[in-house]
Structure 1
Amino acid sequence: MQNNFISTPNLPPAQLPTKRVGRFYLSERIGMGSNGAVYLGHDPVIDRDVAIKIFSAGNNAADKKQREQQFINEARAAGRLSHPNIVTIFDASSEGGTTFIAMEFLQGKDLRHLLADGKQFDIIETANIIQKIADALEYAHGNGVIHRDIKPANIFVLPSQQPKVVDFGIARAPNRVLDETREQAHTLFNNNIMGTPNYMSPEQANGKQVTALTDVYSLGAVMFEMLTGQKPFQSQDVDKLLQQIVSKTPKNPSEISANIPDSLSRIVMKAMQKDPTARYESAAEMSLALEKFLERDKKLKRKRKKQGNDTDKEVDAAGHSNSWLSWVAVILAVLAVAGYFLNKSQMLR
């Protein structure tokens, strides 16, 4: 799903499939995705705008059931979560042959589009955004939900720089409806990729069972790209890309750019360890590491500011001292001149 829950200028106009779903009125299409489209809607009961995602399997009936299960799974997974950095689900239903999800209407852009547009996040912006996402993932994991598809397209950034995790379509949750046996049988190597190759963990790339630490790895991969402007692994061939993820160690971000602090680079590399047991033990631990980095930065800035203020005071003090001495010199000069003329006047008498 595109996850742009705002009007998209390049999106061609489309006729509304219906004027109303449930209690929600539709006004315009604002996004497109593989499982359907997103529309701007309005909730007349609470009088607020919402984003309405309507399921559409297209013409391929073979995978319709699986896609519909993913669609319902998104509602079930995200619907049980309430966190400031996770998109809020208001309602989900199937009525008159239409399956839909009503969620909060987000102003802004997803991280994928921001990066594609050339947006360069500084190290503090990056650390702040990733730290908030890590907090959101820890909350989700605590509620039994593993996202399994953390990537820039699934991180929405509001104008205030507040990030939101979206699209829980392939999330693992206690109330999910996907057939586990069927899902395990469909591996990454027969064109049924559960997750996005560039950001998926080595265990995902190997088609192995995943834990919450797969989200930690993927978040590290997103952080890598935000800091360096490039993906940790790149290849047009999916098999080669997956092989790199499984066996190749990415460059240290601070080796790519000298402006990236080693301490921040170490956070990325720890999150992206091949062995899950070598990563942070949880998203909470990763969040804490980022929080400590940000706190050190704040202390350093306060120290520099204090040093700057002390220097200004010394300069001011020196300026006042020099100014006082200048006035004394002027007064003495005036007195000397006055004394000279006074003595000359007395001599003439």
Structure 2
Amino acid sequence: MNAPLSTPPASATPATPALSRIGRFYITRELGRGTVGCVYLGHDPVLGRDLAIKTYNPRLTPVERNRYEHQFINEARASGLLSHPHIVTIYDASVENGETYIAMEYLRGRELNKLLDSGYRFPPDEVASVVWKLADALNHAHQRGVIHRDVKPANIFMVGDDQPKLVDFGIARSPNRVADKNANPDDPVTLLIGNRLLGTPNYMSPEQATGKPVDERTDIYSLGAVMYEMLVGRKPFHSESAEKLLQLIAYKAPPAPHELDARIPEALSGIVMKAMSKRPEKRYETAEKMALDLKRYLVRQRRARRGMKIPVEALSTGGRGMPAQRHGLLYWAGWASLAGAAAIAARLLLR
């Protein structure tokens, strides 16, 4: 559901919002618009804070809104079960005067996929720090019965230097999910809205690629694929054909990261390859165990550097800094293609 929107130039005039108010929230301006929905910068007059408001694209017809309602409802329901510093926070979800909306944390920064596409290479220790936090976030979700099923760089938002936020739970499986009667929830071919495949093939697990049942380990594989790209600077598999790409994911092992770049520590390379094992039983049993391995790596690195009399502040992954363009960009592109929900279904979210 992410729209490929770009940040407008500084001289551009902010878009005039189609709405002035949704619920108790005042709309300041439009942040982004996609095929399905709009994201507005809103203000909560009660709590005195800014937030992001996701709602329909005004141009959608009622039929089109209905087509996307399941994904919209499921995003709010799945996210609403979670409370973690590295998962975007949902504040509210409801219907006011016929407008269905989700009110959520307003983030500043940049999507991970845009950083990678710009050619930015993360130092290995920074990769370990970022992925450790994401693994901990996934463990939090998994413990509450939520499987994201679409972990990818476009759904990871970088706030500050090394603070990731996992976003977009639109196709997540959760205990309170609204089921699509016509779809097998484990089959990537049937994870469709209209005729569009949900989930990104590059980061799908082998079981997703072959239509087999999935569990928490599918997120572990996808996080491993993200970590692979952060370390190496390219995706694990490449093909112009989606069918061929799924075949590669299902049956071919990529070269280990340290084999492509000798500067990548073998310890991190091993973590990636374990997470990306073709057979789920060969992967980490839980995201928590993956997080622990990453934490052990970082502790060893810290101790080694202290032995070399490197200042403690230099051990922070944030101490390396990031390109200037990583800061000050508003998080709206990834949220600008949102789905709509029927009024009664949205109200159920608040129960």
Q: TM-score range by the shorter chain?
A: 0.7 to 0.9
What TM-score results when the alignment is normalised by the length of structure 1? 0.81
Relative CO higher for 1 or 2, CA cutoff 8 Å, sep ≥ 6? Answer: 2
- For 1:60 and 1:243, the matched residues in 2 are separated by 37
CA deviations on 1:18-75 (whole Å, 9 max, x unpaired) are 1111111112222334531211111111000001111349657766434111011111
Please tell me whether the aligned partners of residues 36 and 60 of structure 2 are also in contact (alpha carbons under 8 angstroms). no
**Alpha-carbon distance in 2 for matches of 1:185, 1:268:** 24
In the superposition, relative to structure 1, how do residues 187 and 221 fare at CA in structure 2: closer, same or farther (>3 Å)? closer
- From 244, 250, 256, the equivalent of 1:252 is 256
8 Å CA contact 1:4–1:31 kept in 2: the answer is no
Superposition TM-score, scaled by structure 2 size: 0.81
Does the CA-based 8 Å contact 1:57-1:64 persist in structure 2?
A: no
Instruction: State how far apart, in whole Å, the 2-side matches of 1:44 and 1:250 are.
Output: 52
Deviates more, 1:170-179 or 1:225-234: 170-179
Q: Which amino acid is 2:291 matched to?
A: S
2:298 matched to 1:297? no
Residue 223 (1) aligns with residue 227 (2): yes
1:240 equivalenced with 2:233 (yes/no): no
How far the C-alpha of 1:236 sits from its partner, in A, is 1.8
How far apart, CA to CA, are the structure 2 residues paired with 1:97 and 1:60?
13
Letter in 1 for 2:260: I
Number of residue-to-residue matches in the alignment: 306
Shift of 1:113: 1.1
Task: Show CA shifts across 1:85-127 (max 9, x none).
Answer: 1000000112222211100110101101111222221001100
Structure-1 separation of matches of 2:167 and 2:305 = 34
Q: Are residues 114 and 67 of structure 1, via their aligned partners in 2, closer, same or farther at CA, if it must alter by over 3 Å?
A: same
The CA distance in 1 between the partners of 2:216 and 2:186, in whole Å, is: 21
Change (3 A) 1:35 1:183: farther
Matches within 5 A, 1:162-177: 162-177=163-178
What is the distance in 2 between the residues matched to 1:64 and 1:210?
A: 28
Q: What is the root-mean-square deviation in Å for CA atoms of aligned residues?
A: 2.5
**In structure 2, what is the Cα distance between the partners aligned to 1:167 and 1:47?**
25
Report the counterpart of residue 56 of structure 2 in structure 1: 55
1:269 and 2:270 equivalent? no
Q: d(CA) in 2 for partners of 1:68 and 1:138?
A: 27
Cα–Cα, structure 1 residues 19 and 34, in superposed 2: closer, same or farther, change >3 Å?
Answer: same
CA distance in 2, matches of 1:12, 1:193: 34
Give the Cα–Cα distance (whole angstroms) in 1 for the partners of residues 37 and 30 of structure 2.
11
Determine helix, strand or coil for the equivalent of 2:308.
helix
Deviation at 1:17, TM superposition (A): 2.0
Identity fraction in percent: 53
Compute the displacement of 1:2 (Å).
Answer: 4.0
Give 1:126's aligned residue. 127
Asked whether the 8 Å contact 1:57–1:67 carries over to 2, the reply is no
Query: Partners of 2:180 and 2:241 in 1: how far apart?
Result: 29
Task: Mark the CA change 1:135 to 1:184 in structure 2 (over 3 Å): closer, same or farther.
Answer: closer
The answer (yes or no) to whether the contact 1:55–1:68 under 8 Å persists in 2 is: no
Deviates more, 1:177-186 or 1:94-103: 177-186
The one-letter amino acid of 1:24's match is F
Q: Tell me what 2:144 maps to.
A: 143
CA distance in 1, matches of 2:102, 2:121: 33
Contact 1:43 1:50 in 2 (8 A): yes
The whole-number CA distance in structure 1 between the counterparts of 2:25 and 2:6 is 17
In structure 2, how many angstroms separate the alpha carbons of the residues matched to 1:12 and 1:233? 40
- Between the aligned partners of 1:60 and 1:255, the Cα distance in structure 2 is 52
Whole-angstrom CA distance in 1 between matches of 2:86 and 2:39: 20
5+ residue gaps, structure 2, are 311-351
Deviation at 1:178, TM superposition (A): 2.6
Amino acid at match of 1:253: P
1:198 is aligned, of 199, 202, 217, to: 202
> Hey, which of these two has a bigger chunk of helix by percent?
1
Question: What secondary structure does 1:305 align onto?
Answer: coil
CA separation in 2, counterparts of 1:169 and 1:114? Answer: 23
Runs of 5+ in structure 1 lacking a partner? 307-349
Matched ranges for 1:177-216 at <5 A: 177-179=178-180, 181-184=182-185, 187-188=188-189, 191-216=195-220
